[in-house]
Structure 1
Amino acid sequence: MVGDVSPGSAPYDTEKECKKELARILSQEIDVAHEIDRKITLGDYLEKRHAWRVSEAQAGTGLKRRTLATDREIIDLYLKPGLGHLKLVKVTDQRIRDLYAAIRMINRTEGERLPEILRRLLQARAVKQRDGSMYSNRPVSDARIRRIHAVLTGALNDAVTLDKILLANPARGVLRSRGGGRKARKRPLLWTDERVAHWLITGQVPAKVMVWTPVQCGVPRFQPGRSAVPPVAPGRLLGHAPRRTDRPGTTGPQHRPPPPGGPSFATRRRG
């Protein structure tokens, strides 16, 4: 006969019965804990998560203080006033879209007949201003909304992967990129003899950023044993060209090939 599973439990005749009852008791405890988690609101979950991230930072392994301050402001100004009263399991993609739409209306709409979610956002903003915080009277920028979305998405990701409260992140796919992104930086090209000859014939500059070689700038070639000056690597930038307004007497963009012995700076075509 197998002993008691827990104080107060009846003994069992077989090990199989004992394990079955133990599994039932454990499943009940898990269900109770999960039910408690499913009752948590988004506001409470954001506070819990932020406190955990602050403790990480204090231990020297978390985010920077400035990042935490930005997250704190986003939680107080936008997320808690907009959606904080909702249970975490009740947050949907449509509610998130409504929040972002209301944020875009800040400093754009006047009057008494305002959506309720916008009223809560404006009230939170007014409370912060009474406490001494200053905010712009311009509409909230797209960059700011993307930062708000990043904080919300991160919290909901934790609710899915760490706490297992949600099955999927409702914020995923809500804020889509308009495409394009940041353009890649143009790589500079050297004024080789072939490119100089092509420019003299056609007048076309090969690239927006053209770089003079050390020899074109009057730097003598390095010869071992004759000079203590180390060689300049081919293609090395010797400095950026000053702007037109910085060079008195200059009337056109600086994109021509260098004359022999000319000054050492990179040339840029403006257009």
Structure 2
Amino acid sequence: MSDLERPKPVGRKRRRVTQLLVLVAACYVSYWFVWPYIRMAHRLGVVGMFSVPKSQCLTQPGFKAVDRSPKRSPLLIADHLIPYTKGKVIFEVGTRNGDILACVNPHAKKAYSAEIDATYCVKLEERGLTVLCDDFRKFSPSALPGLPEGEVPDVFFWWPMMADTQNEEWMLHIRDALWKQDLGAGKRVIIAFDHNWPRDRRNLQYMWNKYGVDMNGEKHEVKYAENRHWRASGTFTLLHLKLDPPRVSTGSIHASKGKFGEVKKAEE
């Protein structure tokens, strides 16, 4: 039989194509359905990844999340904020579509949002939130619409885009404004830090070292696992800084709450 008459090895080519398709399918399944859970187990532990609670926001009547983590902070952050804002006034800086504030709002006396993006401002108003559509540094904490003169928010909260350039500046802006009018007693700033983000981790240590003692700081860890995105599981730290003026400070003790909920105190 001549070379022209010899049949071509079609079967071998088909096997190679099949093997390639199987490899692509295996990579796809691994990337989307296997590796995310390996990553969760690495961050939270095998037991931890199955013991992360569901946010109470998900069962709150009328609540519907618009964004997904990591475009916003985890919904469990709202669970952390609710006990500190129940019957009180909260002011969130940079609210995006408002998932966190919308969950906290029914529990608070009043909820304010400062948002510079006009598109988000419209969406926040549609959710029934009080929105200050501008740079929050242009507003006086003691002259917010809807609050009696001299009354200020009890809790200021944010998770900024650029922790190292915004956290300290924003906190000092609020602290100085309240201290100047002697209105800081009993108020606090709560700043969120994502452990998956190097900039957040570095700034958390900086803020804790610089202000943790003088402002009676507390660190609270929140474990979360919302979805398969690489930044949608892990740990957030909520840094609480008290805004009490120095003369009514409760001392030079700061607390750090660990992953099991215990509070560790250390005198500096």
Is TM-score (shorter-chain normalized) higher than 0.5? no
**How does the TM-score come out when normalised to structure 1?**
0.25
Output the TM-score relative to the length of structure 2: 0.26
Flag the structure with larger Rg: 1
Higher relative contact order (CA 8 A, sep 6+): 2
More strand by share: 2
